[in-house]
Chains A and B, each alone.
Chain A
Amino acid sequence: MKTIFLYAIIAFIAAGCSALRPSVHEYTILPSTTPHVAITQPINATLKVSSTRSIPSLASTQLYYLKNTSRIDAYLYSKWSDSPSSMIDRSLTSSLQNRQLFATLLPATSSASADLILESELSAFYHRFSDDSKSEGFIDVTYRLIDSKTKKMIASKRFVILEPALSADAKGGVDALTKAVQHLSENITDWLEAVGKENLWIK
């Protein structure tokens, strides 16, 4: 009797594990391959790009969409390969390297000390639907440039990027967010160049 009961339990578990579900698509955001023109006189300083901090829900690899401005849900069969913060960091690092804005660029994992630190906080990274069934990629992130020696903030800026989606599904959202991330990286690079000129690092 005991043996029969044990087999029954195993059968239930096997049945649960063997449930069939459609395959999940994983997406990633690759850095832009568009060639950039490097500036002639780079900023003579070392910049470390710190890992972007995000709200807890955006730390996962779920692909979220927003409906009716406040209802949030995740696509069942579409996911990111990495957290949005990691993908933004990768794209920004690539953009800065292409532009050769700083003499030396350090990733967040580097043990070397830097002159400047770029901190950021991600508040939104969603595929957002509006009432008229149109949708867009929506990113809201704030960046701060900090002097590592004095620990004082040099400049700060909030970036809100909206990129229309071509289709009202996960694929359309991924494409829109990919474009938004690329625009974001370009905007941040331009901003850092402007800050460098303001502080007379670039003549």
Chain B
Amino acid sequence: MESKVNYTLVGLFVLLLSGLLIVFAFWLGKYNDDESQYRLFKVYITESISGLAPEAAVKFHGVDVGLVEKIQINPRNSEEVELTLKIKKETPIRTDSTATLKFFGITGLAFIEIGGGSKNSPLLITSDDNIAIIPTAPSLIKRLDETLSSVVTKLSDTLDHTNAIMSDKNTKNFSATLQNLKILSQQINSYQDEIDVLLKNSIQTGKKLDETMLKVGTSADKVGSSLDTFKVTMRDSLSPTMKAWAETSKKSNALIEKIETSMNRGDYDLQAIASDSTVELNALLVQSRTLLSEMELTLKSLRESPSDILFKESTPNPGPGE
């Protein structure tokens, strides 16, 4: 038996299937995505991005907004990993937004979470020529790592200090202090009776002090009245003396006025009195200087030839032309 096959239908089916396969392939390769609907951002991370692969999700407050376009070591700084993110155009990435590496549960797969960014901050402007950089925030693992490191360091320091405090020497000293406290306590107990007596005496002394203060007050009143009496006595006895003093002062004033008048008149002008004598004295001094010089010459000649006073034996040298 010979079957009749409609080759036309088969051909159409094959063509349709091939077309569908091509459409599926394009869908699978996301060639239908409109690149103009995305913007590129860069993120530089210093920690390990193990678990993050290209095409990994980029979330904004938990909402898928894009994917990791490219991962590479920063060619300008080998300590950083450069991530290129492709994020939907309408996503409000702001200047204070931060990118954090996060993980899906315990699977070890990582994604980029963009958070932060207050609504008042300006939007981060980016373009293909000048791709904007989103600052990074440390991931949970890094924060835990840092915190634990810090705690461990501080714990280590505390243990060191504790060891230093609890040294053998300090332990012995502490024991000795406790022993001394014990002895002191026993001694205080033995002096209990004496302390009671001391307190009683203090109370009695306080009472006596009150009585003494009362007596001092009475004495002060008496001193005040004595001072009043003394004042009256001084006034009565000194009054004649003060009068006599005032009289003497008046007479002294009169005498001083007389002396002043005489001085103004020139009675005691020593300069005027002495001026004539001074002039005469000066003239006399000049003449006496000459006389002294002459006497000195005469004495000199006598000293050189003493017999000249009687015999005039020496023959002095005559001057030129004499």
Contacts and interface: CB of A to CB of B under 8 A. Distances in A.
Interface in A146-171: 167-171
B146 interface: no
A189 B257 CA distance: 51
A100 interface: no
A83 B319 contact: no
A75 B319 contact: yes
A57 B322 CA distance: 22
B317 A73 contact: yes
B289 interface: yes
A184 B312 CA distance: 40
B311 interface: yes
Nearest to B295: A60
A59 B283 CA distance: 14
Nearest to B285: A51
A73 B319 contact: yes
Contacts of A124: none
B320 interface: yes
Interface stretch (B48-56, B136-144, B272-280): B272-280
Nearest to B312: A19
A62 B290 contact: no
Contacts of B157: none
B10 interface: no
B322 A170 contact: yes
Given A62-B297, A78-B319, A110 B312 contact: no
B321 A59 contact: no
B322 A51 contact: no
Contacts of A12: 310-311
Given A19-B312, A74-B319, A111 B290 contact: no
B75 interface: no
B313 to A, nearest CB: 10
A102 B54 CA distance: 120
Contacts of A172: 321
Contact of B294 (A13, A16, A60, A78): A60
Contacts of B156: none
A129 B320 CA distance: 10
| Interface size class, chain A | 35 or more
B5 interface: no
A77 interface: yes
Nearest to A75: B319
Given A13-B310, A19-B312, A51-B286, A111 B320 contact: no
Contacts of B292: 59
B36 to A, nearest CB: 102
A76 B320 contact: no
Contacts of A65: 319-320
Nearest to A108: B282
Nearest to A21: B312
Given A13-B310, A76-B316, A59 B289 contact: yes
B302 to A, nearest CB: 12
A36 B289 CA distance: 34
Contacts of A167: 321
Contacts of B276: 111
Interface in B261-281: 275-276, 278-279
Contact of B311 (A16, A75, A110): A16
Given A61-B294, A109-B283, 14 more contacts: A12-B310, A12-B311, A13-B310, A56-B296, A59-B289, A59-B290, A60-B293, A60-B294, A73-B319, A83-B289, A111-B278, A129-B320, A167-B321, A168-B321
Interface of A: 12-13, 15-16, 19, 51, 56-57, 59-63, 65, 73-78, 82-83, 86, 108-111, 129, 135, 167-172
Interface of B: 275-276, 278-279, 282-283, 286, 289-290, 292-294, 296-297, 308-312, 316-322
Top 6 A-B pairs, shortest CB-CB distance? A169-B321, A75-B319, A60-B293, A59-B293, A111-B275, A19-B312
